[in-house]
Amino acid sequence: MRVIFSGGGTGGHIYPALALLKRLKQRQLLDAALYIGTERGLESRIVRQKDIPFEAIKLQGFKRSLSLENFKTIWLFLQSTHRAKKILRRFKPDVVIGTGGYVSSAVLFAAARLHIPTIINEQNSVAGITNRFLGHFVDRVSIAFEDVAAQFPQQKVVLTGNPRAQEVAGIQPNQRLQDFQLQVAQPTLLIFGGSRGAAPINQAFLKALPELEQRPYQTLFVSGQVHYAKIKAALNKHQLAANVAVVPYIEDMPTILPDIAVILGRAGATSLAEITALGIPSILVPSPYVTNDHQTKNAMSLVNHHAAEMIAEKQLTATRLMQVADSLMTDKSKRQAMGQHAAQLGVPDAADRLIKVMQTLSNQT
């Protein structure tokens, strides 16, 4: 198949596309690929680093308040749609996949107008504005959470999961905890606020540190590169106990997850795809600053199935962190039950499911 991918702005829109592309290559189903994004988005760096053909269009998102900038957004959308049509005619894709972010709006809309098979993948439990718009034009809507199905035309919806899940599903424990001078056999709590970190989570960790250093389990804390200098300053002259490690970032984070007993972190779609694919118990602290509070709804999809605990950010204190962490870290049977519930929500063949949809649409043309 010849496939065009489009999605950007955040890693949550980029990594599912890359996971799908990787699986197509593994199955020798990919004849040619092209990724369309913007120069300003993370995709311009991440995709090019992987030597994937990349073309850029100029586009921006709508302002949520009344603004003259929205007139510019409409003009850029029309201009980008015109450019996208030229790219599509030249590349001649069998199918076009959108994984979210405003850049995919022009690409998928142009493809639909040219009667090229189109699919969008919605990774969250609340649809983003771009995917809600595209849902009226594309051929299929691939979803990761059943809760979001009602936000799209029902005849187009297919539950596939997030392709990122399949990429991590087969990872086995590999003793990477040794890289951080931690014990391989000791239950480990991972506190991680995302690639950039999360200040409220970091502050709760610092206040809980004296308690964490006294626990029979160990803690691996990832501050995020942006916050690491402040964390180091706050820990100035403090000698960490042997059961706590503090790092700014972990390269290839998924490879360490099978060695983790419990994860405390945000509730982004990619994180939850990884957590459920590997069946890891989690304590979720949704970001309240995302569109439509979708991380809270993502988290509740797990909480309602007894697959996670949730702490609202405004309720995140050192005391609350320790209460929830202790309840899981000191109770192996509770962790096992929660992990089993999480695994039941995972879709370990998500990429293959989406590829099947692609093949079906491609064969119809």
pLDDT tens per residue, range 68-78: 565 667 778 88
Helices 69-91 & 103-113 angle (0-180, nearest 10): 50
Going by the annotation, the residues of the binding site are: 10-12, 124, 195, 250, 295
| pLDDT tens string 221-233 | 999 988 999 999 9
Q: Answer yes or no: do 8 and 119 share one domain.
A: yes
Predicted local distance difference test score (pLDDT) of residue 64: 57
Q: Answer yes or no: do 157 and 208 share one domain.
A: no
Q: Percent of the chain beyond pLDDT 70?
A: 96
Q: Answer yes or no: do 184 and 41 share one domain.
A: no
Q: Answer yes or no: do 240 and 333 share one domain.
A: yes
Q: Report pTM.
A: 0.88
Over residues 210-218, the mean pLDDT reads: 97
Q: Answer yes or no: do 221 and 117 share one domain.
A: no
Q: Answer yes or no: do 146 and 179 share one domain.
A: no
In total, how many domains does the chain have? 2
Contact 340, 279 (CB under 8 A): yes
Predicted local distance difference test score (pLDDT) of residue 196: 77
Q: Answer yes or no: do 159 and 16 share one domain.
A: yes
Predicted local distance difference test score (pLDDT) of residue 63: 55
- Domain membership of residue 154 as a residue range: 2-165+348-364
Q: Answer yes or no: do 34 and 151 share one domain.
A: yes
pLDDT of 65 strictly over 80: no
Q: Answer yes or no: do 240 and 279 share one domain.
A: yes
Distance (Å) of CA 133 to CA 100, 109, 128, 137, 270:
11, 9, 9, 8, 22
Query: Environment class of residue 74 by beta-carbon count within 10 Å: exposed (0-12), middle (13-18) or buried (19+)?
Result: exposed
pLDDT of 101 strictly over 60: yes
Kindly report the CATH number assigned to the domain that includes residue 335.
Answer: 3.40.50.2000
Amino acid identity of residue 255, one-letter, is: T
Predicted local distance difference test score (pLDDT) of residue 170: 84
Going by the annotation, the residues of the binding site for UDP-N-acetyl-alpha-D-glucosamine are: 10-12, 124, 195, 250, 295
Q: Answer yes or no: do 352 and 339 share one domain.
A: no
Predicted local distance difference test score (pLDDT) of residue 186: 96
Q: Answer yes or no: do 147 and 189 share one domain.
A: no
Q: Answer yes or no: do 153 and 187 share one domain.
A: no
